[in-house]
Amino acid sequence: MEHQRTFTEGEVEQIVKIAAETAAQTAISEFNRRNEDMLAKKNERAYKNTTILLDGYTAMKAHCKSAIAKSEDTLTPSDLQTVLYEVFNRRGLLQIEAILASKRRTELIIEHIDRMLVSYSEYCANSGKHYCECVIDRYINDMTIGEIAEKHNTVERNIYRWLEKGIDDLSIYLFGAYAL
């Protein structure tokens, strides 16, 4: 024969209190873990996006310089009409507009990158850091790690660290709080 124990009202309250505290602590821990994961992923995305922008910087500059400013700059109206019907099959006007819009967006991105590089460069110069100069040398001047190390009279490992720090910092300049 089993003996069933009955709990007093005070014991039940104590059990409920302990269970609620445990559940709350577990929920808070899980929330904090997910929040940290989310912030880490945002930071990782900003870092990756910064390297993509820097990798494509010279190509975007060339695009802005070479892309047509207006369709009239390169084609007469009759030439344009012929091209639109032959090559783009009546949807060409949208394509030309897309090219022009792409050029405008690219110019805006380049202008933003240039301004942020100037700001970050000034910060680094005032702080005696080589981070921005290394980023510019690597991504814009297309120098090798060895060439940058020689320029700064240091080992390549330092250049890799400076580049990582520079890209981290530049991510904040480019993307603001999103990169934190």
HEC-encoded secondary structure of 4-61: CCCCCHHHHHHHHHHHHHHHHHHHHHHHHHHHHHHHHHHHHHHHHHHHHHHHCHHHHH
* 95 has a pLDDT exceeding 60: no
pLDDT digits (tens, 9 = 90+) for 37-74: 676 677 788 888 888 888 888 888 888 887 765 544 45
Task: Identify the band that residue 149 occupies on the pLDDT scale cut at 50, 70 and 90.
Answer: very high
Q: What is the pLDDT of residue 29?
A: 78
Give the mean model confidence (pLDDT) for residues 94-104: 68
Nearest to 135 by CA among 108, 96, 174: 174
Q: What is the pTM of this model?
A: 0.60
* Residue-averaged pLDDT of the chain: 80
Helix, strand, coil share of the chain (percent; to 5)? 85, 0, 15
Nearest to 69 by CA among 26, 33, 102, 112: 102
**Please, what is the Cα angle at 135 between 134 and 141, to 5 degrees?**
85
